[in-house]
Amino acid sequence: MLACKNIPGTELSTVAEHSHSPFTGIGVAVDVILMTGLTLIVGFAVFVLEGLFSISFLFFMGQQHDTHLQ
């Protein structure tokens, strides 16, 4: 055990174990908020892109139909 304590990094793991619960609580809350925000942003971006694509697609089809009618 004494040899283990001299290895660098084991001190950090014991410190992390002592302050485990509050940091994980904060980390989990921040992670949930960040993931929710990212999901909303990505979903909104996809929604906007789909709207623009459908509008441009309908406009393009309308232009094609107009040229066919003439």
Q: Is 9 a member of any domain?
A: no
pLDDT digit string, tens, across residues 20-58: 455 556 667 777 888 898 999 999 999 999 999 888 888
Domain count, the chain: 1
Does 7 have pLDDT greater than 70?
no
Q: Is 17 a member of any domain?
A: no
- CA dist 63 and 59 (Å) reads 6
pLDDT of residue 42: 94
**Predicted structure pTM score:** 0.42
pLDDT of residue 44: 94
| Structural domain containing residue 51 | 24-70
- CA dist 36 and 58 (Å) reads 32
**Tokens matching residue 41:** 């942003």
Q: Is 51 a member of any domain?
A: yes
Q: Is 19 a member of any domain?
A: no
Q: Is 10 a member of any domain?
A: no
pLDDT digit string, tens, across residues 28-37: 777 788 889 8
Q: Is 58 a member of any domain?
A: yes
Contacts (Cβ under 8 Å, ≥6 apart) of 23: 16
